[in-house]
Amino acid sequence: MNTVSTEELTELVQPSLRHLVLELVDLQWRPGRSSVLRLVIDSAAGVTLDDCERVSHVVGAVLDAYDPIAGRYSLEVSSPGAERPLRTDAEWQAAVGRRINVRLRSGDAELIVEGSLRQVDETSAEIEARDRNRRRLTAVSRADVIAARIVVDI
């Protein structure tokens, strides 16, 4: 059984990503019969297919050298996509002015708020949503957020 942790794997791959001027957005380790190590990367300039390929080669070489994973596994590298999730304070801050979708707890129910993120801090966010042809500001406690993501306007 594979007992390597996501923290150990993150510590191992971070230096290579910093060297490539890329950010690790997410690392998922799914051990099992078909084990998968998935890296989600980003940069200020966005992520290209060439970036994913470079990370795959560089990180693959590091993992081969340190051999932290027993047995066979697949390494997958991707970008967070256009409708990327908002998890960290930095991701929330970067989304100010953009359209977002937030699913949150409201008592025993769930509520969805979609609109333009006007401001955010560590504990709350203010979203300008449209209600018919009126605009309204909705204050959201970040502690109540179940999931949040960028919304692409087409």
Indicate the residue among 78, 110, 128 that finishes a domain.
78
Indicate the residue among 78, 102, 124 that finishes a domain.
78
pLDDT digits (tens, 9 = 90+) for 20-72: 999 998 999 999 889 999 999 998 888 999 999 999 999 999 999 999 998 99
SS3 of residue 45 by DSSP: coil
Q: Which tokens is 86 given?
A: 């908002």
SS3 of residue 96 by DSSP: coil
Please name which of 47, 45, 50, 55 lies closest in space to residue 76, comparing C-alpha atoms.
Answer: 55
Alpha-carbon span 38 to 57, nearest angstrom: 14
Do 13 and 72 reside in the same domain of the chain?
yes
- 73 in any annotated domain: yes
SS3 of residue 65 by DSSP: helix
pTM of model > 0.85: no
- 1 in any annotated domain: no
The residues with which 112 forms a beta bridge, in sequence order, are 103
